[in-house]
Structure 1
Amino acid sequence: MTVRQAFAKEQPLLLPLPANPYPVEEQVAVKVGKTPYVRFDLNDYTVPHPHVRRMLSVRADLSQVRIFDGAQMIASHRRSYDRGQEIEDRRHLKDLVEIEREARQHRGLNSLTRAVPICQTLMIRAAERGANIGALTTALLRLLDRYGATELQAAVEDALRAGSVNAATVRAALERRRLERGEPPPVETSLPKHVRRKDTTVRPHRLDSYDQLAPSGDNDDEH
């Protein structure tokens, strides 16, 4: 019996191929660092920022790279066969820009309320009225640099007594106080970081801790 004859005899007994082809993908585990990119096959692919610093899985076929967090697919990109390329989804980068903007705003608000505690009350009342907290924080930080913490504290108190949470009201109070003292308008200066750092408060440490660095014999009196 020839091979052709054997195949013709067995063919009716063979199962047909499935309607959908069997998925064949390369799958690897990847660790995401501080930036929202995963490295696969010498290229970097973006993921949504909430998934940074996590272990994800990449499933790739000849045309597509899909990225999963557990069973959830969080990103899909065309596969690149170049080297050192960054394949990006604009939505992921837009989210990253927004998160970084919010982080800067948060740091600025912390700096403001530490220097001028009454600003926390002003921000709470401004938020209740639907004000733009980021813009208000930026404006008050400029006034802090220009007039100082003591004057800004007093001006914010004046604004709150007047029932206002507007930066313009605070600025008007600062100017009124300046004119009452007969002082010239403040000049805003932009100093380099090393100059601004010279006024950083340094907390002193106990000096007896340095005694532990020296051998005990060094403290004996010489004869």
Structure 2
Amino acid sequence: IYDNMKTAVDKVGRGKQRQVNKRFHAMVGHYLYEPEFCNPAAGWEKGQVEKAVLDARHGLWYDTPPFKSLHELNLWLHDRCQALWPETAHPQMKNRSLAECLADEQSKLMPVPAAFDGFIEISKRVSSTCLITFEHNRYSVPASFANRVISLRVYPERLVIVAEAQVVAEHVRVFNRHKSPGQTIYDWRHYLSVAQRKPGSLRNGAPFLELPDSFRQLRARLIKRPGGDREMADILALVLLHDERQVERAVARSLELGEVSKQHVLNCLSRQGEPSLPQPLKPPPALKLVTEPEANTARYDQLRRSSNDP
């Protein structure tokens, strides 16, 4: 039974008529059940449910630890609920616990399908500065999609950007306090093609202010020399072809050795990819030699004597 929340109902009609939104309808079809909705302004229809939730809170939220994220809270809540099942009586069968009733019913239940991909999809146009706006915040998009329309999938904690049927970017969703100014969330990788065309943007460009520490140290040294901007842009572009952690290690190694150049970073990067020596093989008994070969060159004298015989 659902209340007429906006996340499910677009319009409340007469009686039981409801116009549900597309994503809620898709979720109902995914899990194969029929939803029921309360009548508007009829609080008595959901009183038992709300009272049960209120009673459960006293046991669940007693001595609650702090949480760093909503995901961490949900994990704790999942474990806490399961821990209370053996101690909680069934609402109809008072002499049995919830854990006992679940054990009896579990073999008769249908398997749960794969989790529903619950997102809200919105079309957005990317600005000329490779940004989209959502809830007063701006998020970066790869520069190749500037001035184009993309699809934004909104999840509770993240935003996924899809273009040409592929995920091209992902950001942690940012929430602002009421009437607070919006934020701009950059991913410097999205602007690498811009840096290739305009290497000077690496000096003070906003997307490149939050580079990893090793990259910032390298930039501080390279921009002091002629052509250093171009060299830095080429080094950053290596993350498009290699694992980013390997590139960071190569840059850090180059800084340790005091040789800061594109060629030296490439050299450090290539040495990380050297293949390890193969492990010795143990042949099966059927392939082992019965008679071990001998390193005896005197046997060749027999061939020499036979060739000189008349």
When the two structures are superposed, what TM-score results if normalisation uses the length of structure 1?
A: 0.38
Greater RCO between the two (CA within 8 Å, min separation 6)?
Answer: 1
TM-score, structure 2 as length reference: 0.28
